[in-house]
Chain A
Amino acid sequence: MKSVPLNPDEPSDGLRADGPQTFDEIYGRYFPFVWRCLRGLGVALGALDDAAQDVFLVVHRQLGRFRGESSAQTWLYGIARHVASNHQRRARRKQAPLEPTVSEPAHPGPGPLERAADAEAAAFVEGFLAGLDAKKRDLFILAVLEEMTVPEVAAALSIPLNTAYTRLRSVRADFARTLDRMKP
């Protein structure tokens, strides 16, 4: 198995000067991003803890070698995609470990109806993601859900900028059509 991309072997000075410098800072800033990406990449709720942990263990190992040529989000997404793939492969082989069966909501404020609507929207989005091929899925997660800029996404996915724009228009149209079909 090849190494996680965007993490060359030679040592470097670490992350960008304007970005997070330590593991704690990266964890604090990007844990929600990693968590959502893992969900979007199809990691089951019961395996999210393990997957997130795996991502940050890789981050911990490779922090000193991250050159900062890409954004931290791009780097983390590459790791998350790799970890998600491994988890899905393992999930087909073995039973889930002892894990919490429900995830506490991130927003304790809203009432049950609000939560239900949020959960319904999340299920809709994740169902839509599950039906996409990997190229469109990556683009949708990064550009639409995580609101990264298209040039950033194009660099993260190693695709030409115009391809990214074309693919993004296509996937946005797919999403809008799917959403229209949900309307009463």
Chain B
Amino acid sequence: MTDDKPNLSDVLARAQRARSPSAADAERVRRAIGAALAGGAGTGDATGTRATSPPAGWASRILLVGAITGASAGVGYWAGHRAGLHAAEPRRLAGYWSPALDTTGEMKLPAVATAASDQTGTPPFASLPLVTSHRDAARNPRRVAETQAPSTTESLAIEVRALRNAERALRDGNPGLALAFLQELDRQVPNGKLAEERDAAATTARCARGDHPFGVDMAEEFAQRHPASVYRARVEQACAPTDSPATGDSLPRRSE
């Protein structure tokens, strides 16, 4: 401890202060929950287990529900196609969406919300469905699709799905594919709700690929665009300068 004689209550009070979330934490998670619920994630089985509960996270979670899933699979297919990877690596791309829906090879672009419909911000939790079972959605996706608001819900679902795909591609060391997903997302939903997340993922992918203009500090520019972003550290880490052969520095060759 930094104090000479820390007492129990002081330590506990300090610890509680440091362990409490910030307003930004609360808002970030709230937005992610709103996105997940809009995609149907809050409507499933109540066991709380990973096997039956939906995946979650700003880029890693959206429930694969009925027609939304089918439509998003089309987005993934289209993105992969545009990236020129479909013909070369069909098996690799297949991992980026539901295996049950990627077998037709047909291009099924979803009916995407217009930009104008996407300006309302994250819907309040109270406006989201509370009791619809995702089992019902799985049984009858068409019926569910008809009952959901197509514009906001679907565009948000597409956004989250694309971000999840981009994140997976980044984790797999494929920033080019991540950018392809993000570019397709920009085309499909130009003014989405998750603009900051998109920007963070795109900047990270560009830095990972070394795709940035000479003398431009991508992380700095990201910080200027989003001064309070919680993704700053992540972006800075991805964009941190590294020695490369082009800099003129060279590591001593290891004698073998």
Contacts and interface: CB of A to CB of B under 8 A. Distances in A.
A100 B231 contact: yes
Contact of B167 (A83, A98, A175): A98
Given A64-B131, A101-B233, A103-B21, A54 B56 contact: yes
Contact of A61 (B21, B23, B43, B58): B43
B233 A100 contact: yes
Contacts of A126: 15, 19
Given A7-B46, A60-B33, A116 B2 contact: yes
Contact of B33 (A48, A53, A116): A53
Report which residue of B10, B19, B36 has the largest number of chain A beta carbons within 10 angstroms of its beta carbon: B19
Interface residues of B, number: 67
A125 B49 contact: no
Interface string A67-106: 0000000000001001100100010000101111111111
Contacts of B19: 35-36, 39-40, 122, 125-126
B20 A3 contact: no
Contacts of A119: 18
B6 A1 contact: no
A151 B163 CA distance: 45
B29 A31 contact: yes
Interface stretch (A19-27, A130-138, A156-164): A19-27
Contacts of B130: 60-61, 63-64
A176 interface: yes
A1 B234 CA distance: 35
23 contacts: A27-B26, A31-B30, A49-B32, A50-B61, A53-B36, A53-B61, A58-B53, A60-B130, A61-B46, A61-B130, A64-B130, A98-B60, A98-B171, A99-B234, A103-B25, A106-B20, A106-B22, A107-B20, A108-B22, A119-B18, A145-B15, A182-B1, A183-B5
A155 interface: no
A61 B53 CA distance: 10
B18 A101 contact: no
For the complex of A and B, list the 5 residue pairs with the smallest distance between their C-beta atoms, beginning with the closest: A121-B14, A122-B18, A118-B18, A125-B15, A100-B230
A56 B33 contact: yes
Interface string B42-66: 1111111111111011111100000
Contacts of A95: 171
Given A49-B28, A116-B2, A122-B15, A104 B48 contact: no
A125 B144 CA distance: 47
B93 interface: no
B21 A31 contact: yes
B149 to A, nearest CB: 18
A52 interface: yes
Contacts of B18: 105-106, 115, 118-119, 121-122
B159 to A, nearest CB: 15
B48 A83 contact: yes
A26 to B, nearest CB: 9
A24 B61 contact: no
Contacts of B201: 98
B2 A31 contact: no
Nearest to B197: A98
B60 A97 contact: yes
Contact of A58 (B29, B48, B128): B48
A51 B230 CA distance: 17
Nearest to A182: B1
A115 B124 CA distance: 34
Nearest to B3: A117
B138 interface: no
B11 interface: yes
Report which residue of B2, B5, B48, B124 has the largest number of chain A beta carbons within 10 angstroms of its beta carbon: B48
Nearest to B50: A86
A60 B134 CA distance: 14
Report which residue of B11, B26, B44, B60 has the largest number of chain A beta carbons within 10 angstroms of its beta carbon: B11
A49 to B, nearest CB: 6
A49 B30 CA distance: 10
